[in-house]
Structure 1
Amino acid sequence: MTQWTMPAEGAPQDKVWMAYPVKGYSLGDTDSARDEARRTWAAVAHAVLDFEPVTMIVDPGEISVARQYLSADIDIVEAPLNDAWARDIGPTFVLGDDGRLGAVDWIFNGWGAASWAQWDKDQHVGKLIAELSGAELIASPMINEGGGIQVDGDGTVLVTESVQLGEGRNSLWSKTEVEAELSRTIGADRAIWLPHGLTRDNEKFGTRGHVDIVAAMPSPGVVLVHDQQNPDHPDFEVSARIKALIAEAEPGWEIIGVPAPTVLTDDEGPVDYSYINHLVVNDGVIACSFDDPNDARAAAILSEVYPGRTVTAVDARPLFERGGGVHCITQQQPASR
């Protein structure tokens, strides 16, 4: 029986998968909003393309306009879409103990059957990408999204109670059952449970707790944590609690706080702007920027924890306005043998 393991994001990759914005809230209702979304998704794709190939899933109705924004070097695959968050609607890639590529197809139900979400098309994207990549499909009965897990490649996974055990997902499961499924599918033998994600992400239009905006493990024994340093923001207490929980769970770990951007609010309330939501690629890191004084500080930290990689920043404000970041719209495919 094959033992599957999800590699660390810094492991060698063959390509990155993305999905292009389609009619709906992510694309926007005005010409300027639609242009902003298309340019931002394209900017991330082109930043990745400097390091490795990119395949973009594009809805049939968006093919012609997508070609106006995307380089000819980006491979386009036509398929129906509800939305554009490839991390969540796509599969989670794993490697077998024999080097084969596998793809875990979680059950996707619109982030816990959120009242505003549609997923009749997106629920099939995981299987589609698995087929296109040539990976062995690993079907899972667990409702989950790629943004809801972070691994170190050495058996540890970060999860949140509000996602894996949350209402609309796997509320009838126990932690033991979740951990057993994560062991079977991604080879995790150690789960660190955080209570929830950032404040904005736990509101109506959020994912209700994705960990990839809160913490990341650049290497075993090292964890980056979103560090809101302003006590006027509700995530000040969230950051402190998460750092304390990780320190208690893993006393020997190095916990590195990545300062949150200095901006605290937008028209909707407290922001969840985070530098944690970056993507590691071959020889590079695609980072979020916010035209903020802390952009440079965050880039310096990422350069230090991912030595030898070039940090490329993309303005992520249009992504966060729509509910995510750089990591949320990308899904890496590890190199297999």
Structure 2
Amino acid sequence: MATSTYRLLPEWHPQDAVQLTWPRAEGDWKAMLSRIEATLERIVLASVDHQRVVISVENEATQRRLAATFAAYGVATERLALIVAPTDDTWARDHGPLGVVDGEDHPALLDYVFTGWGGKFPAQNDDKLTRHLEAAGVWACPVQTRTLVLEGGGIETDGQGTLLTTEACLLNPNRNPERNRAEIEAELRADFGIERFLWLANGHLEGDDTDSHIDTLARFCDTHTIAYVRCDDESDAHYPALRAMEEELKAFRQANGEPYRLIPLPWPQAAFDPEDGHRLPATYANFLIINGAVMVPTYGDPADLPALNALATAFPDRTIVPIDCTSVIRQHGSLHCLTMQLPKGTLNADVFATPA
């Protein structure tokens, strides 16, 4: 088998920026626009302490408004790029590009097909966003288009050739029905330099639209540590599947044959939509690693503090920053879903030099 040209970067690799997609005024967030904007503002303010932020916005009016808002917060112009681009929704994790490096550590971005999680929601504009940003001069590295349907939230890597993912997502016939497991593995080996696949057969969250994205369940914190969702409530409907997932994680081995260091994350109380009562996918696994910090979703729940403390043990050299995501789960995602890290060397600094 041919050697891969690229290596998929882990989230803790040095970053240029965090990518966000601002909600459209007439989009799915319309009924609670001010709430989600407040959450995104908090993410931006937490990010600019450590790195830059790139935000796609729907029109020039929003661009001007956000420029004024963040200037009032004291955000320097060179820390924020506001790019007008057509979008469908806010989930940058799944329509953003994936960062890789070649054999000489030169960065590149791979642009996969995004179909709204298997055709559940409109996604034509989101699918084109990476190329739209390329045309706007945002990227400073090569961008390569792929034909595989793949979302960033569906995969985790240790940056050393191991991929952690779920069967329910990557093998779902609503994504790539013409490809079987072996064919998907072959494509990811070729694209990402993957040598080992850790497939989870169990684990899900009620209210999740993604068909069990790995970033809702289990995450690499470093090459030998995995933080994961643990349900201790035997009366909860999630208990059997998450307990089975825990046993799978315990059975996984590192490339050197050693077991992983596993950090269980607490189980928040059940959260329900206030309008129709369906359960919402609250999870502490949906954290974001940035330069020098880890942003962690919180839900106004008694488990928030234990979750922050657990992740502090996983990231002793990073600042733990809580972000209230009570509003985010109303649209069935959380913090990590809203964001995409952009590795060092991928951004054109000129887009930050011109005031919005």
Partner of 2:205: 199
Q: Which moved more, 1:242-251 or 1:273-282?
A: 242-251
Structure 1 letter corresponding to 2:159: G
Q: CA deviation digits over 1:280-316, x for unaligned, max 9? A: 0111001111111111111111111112100011101
Give the number of the structure whose alpha-carbon radius of gyration is greater. 2
Tell whether 2:58 aligns with 1:59.
yes
Structure 1 letter corresponding to 2:15: Q
Partner of 1:149: 155
Does the 8 A contact of 1:261 with 1:294 survive in 2?
A: yes
1:283–1:48 distance in 2 versus 1, CA, 3 Å: same
Query: 1: distance between equivalents of 2:165 and 2:318?
Result: 27
Does the 8 A contact of 1:6 with 1:151 survive in 2?
A: yes
Query: 1: distance between equivalents of 2:86 and 2:203?
Result: 30
Shift of 1:238: 2.2
Partner of 2:96: 90
Does the 8 A contact of 2:92 with 2:340 survive in 1?
A: yes
Shift of 1:69: 4.2
Q: CA deviation digits over 1:111-165, x for unaligned, max 9? A: 1011xx1112111112234562222122222101111111111111111222212
> 2:51 aligns to what SS in structure 1?
coil
1:196–1:134 distance in 2 versus 1, CA, 3 Å: farther
Tell whether 2:33 aligns with 1:34.
yes
Partner of 1:237: 240
Query: 1: distance between equivalents of 2:160 and 2:29?
Result: 37
Query: 1: distance between equivalents of 2:107 and 2:338?
Result: 21
Q: CA deviation digits over 1:19-39, x for unaligned, max 9? A: 10113554223xxx1111111
For 2:142, which of 136, 139, 147 is the aligned residue?
A: 136
Query: 1: distance between equivalents of 2:198 and 2:48?
Result: 33
Q: Which moved more, 1:266-275 or 1:214-223?
A: 266-275
Partner of 2:48: 49
Shift of 1:201: 4.3
Structure 2 letter corresponding to 1:248: A
Provide the TM-score with structure 1 as the length reference. Answer: 0.91
Query: 2: distance between equivalents of 1:239 and 1:233?
Result: 10
Query: 2: distance between equivalents of 1:162 and 1:138?
Result: 27
Query: 2: distance between equivalents of 1:316 and 1:8?
Result: 24
Q: Unaligned regions of 5+ residues in structure 1, if any? A: none
Partner of 2:325: 316
Q: Which moved more, 1:161-170 or 1:323-332?
A: 161-170
Query: 1: distance between equivalents of 2:242 and 2:101?
Result: 33
Partner of 1:121: 125
Q: Unaligned regions of 5+ residues in structure 2, if any? A: 347-356
The percentage of counterpart residues that share the same residue type is 24
For 1:326, which of 326, 335, 346 is the aligned residue?
A: 335
Structure 2 letter corresponding to 1:187: G
Shift of 1:3: 2.3
What is the root-mean-square deviation in Å for CA atoms of aligned residues? Answer: 2.0
Provide the TM-score with structure 2 as the length reference. Answer: 0.86
